[in-house]
Amino acid sequence: MRTIRLTLAYDGTRYSGWQVQPDRLSLQQVVETAVSDLSGEPVKVAASGRTDAGVHAVGQVVSFHTSSSVPVDGYRWGLVTRLPDDIVVTDAVEMPYGFHARFDALRKRYRYVIYNSRTANPWLRNAVWWLRAPLDVTAMQAAAETLVGTHDFRCFETNWPNRSSSVRTIFAAKWSRCELWSPWNAAQSSTASPALSPQPSTIHPQPFLYFDITADGFLYNMVRAIVGSLIHVGRGKWTSDDLRRILESGTRSDAGDNAPACGLYLMDVETVVDAERIAKRLAKTQIPEDDSNDD
């Protein structure tokens, strides 16, 4: 038997999330069907992060065991014609047998993207959260820093409890801005004639606002609840002290609503190959599955 690790990028818009669900199209179902077709055997695929409905990925890590002789590059390129256009394999690596994308993940990084503009961009409607009101990013960053460290984050978990523990460690949380990538922008280049009647469409010269958060794990809807809460800070309704109080209260209703799924991306996953841990796992007759999702 062999273990293959794939890195996937996908647009989660039309999927019910990663995990297989009855009567709904899931990413896991589509990926497993493609891998099984290529390998010629039934394959069960495990993911590092069970992303929720509508959530995207840039660096989702998955793994599966196979007795197939398909070379590792065969999975990288052979899946191109077996997967839909909204799922892409960006890397394929053969790992020591027993490696598991979920249980051997050390930390994950999610990114939430906001388009902070007076007017919406129709081509971005499934890729960002459009917010037209000005946001105080300095205040949002100060509030985000109160979350760094090891805490009980159940106030940001939907339908708590979903897992045995809601204690997680956040290693970094940072807001940043960047400029608009402009193939749809009516303004022309400096070598061409100026655009007709140009209208200001943004409230900031860098309208993309994004939030990177890295942790050893995430609770269900945790990132979206954090972003929804930090937006209250950016609008001047809450302060860093309010966010600290909400964290200490442990009450979901005290925190903000979940930000829309369309702006969330699983960016990358750091994994480890620990021979002793893998050996202990393989020695068990069954590996207990965690049925709850990430964000």
Output the six-digit token pair for 138: 């300095």
Report whether 140 contacts 230 (CB < 8 A).
yes
Report whether 231 contacts 135 (CB < 8 A).
yes
Q: Which of 238, 185, 229 is nearest to 207 (CA)?
A: 185
Q: What are the residues whose beta carbons fall under 8 Å from the beta carbon of 138, sequence distance 6 or more? A: none
Is 52 noted as a catalytic residue in this protein?
A: yes
3-state SS class at 131: strand
For the chain, give the longest Cα–Cα distance.
71
The pairing of strands 264-271 and 56-66 is parallel
- Report CA-CA distances (Å) from 190 to 178, 198, 284: 21, 14, 66
Q: Which of 97, 108, 106 is nearest to 5 (CA)?
A: 97
Task: Please tell me the distance from the alpha carbon of residue 99 to that of residue 97, in angstroms, as a whole number.
Answer: 6
Q: What are the residues whose beta carbons fall under 8 Å from the beta carbon of 150, sequence distance 6 or more? A: 167, 168, 169
Report whether 48 contacts 102 (CB < 8 A).
yes
Beta strands in the chain (DSSP E): 2-10, 46-47, 56-66, 87-95, 105-116, 129-131, 149-152, 167-178, 208-215, 264-271
Q: Which of 52, 104, 268, 295 is catalytic?
A: 52
Just list the catalytic residues.
52
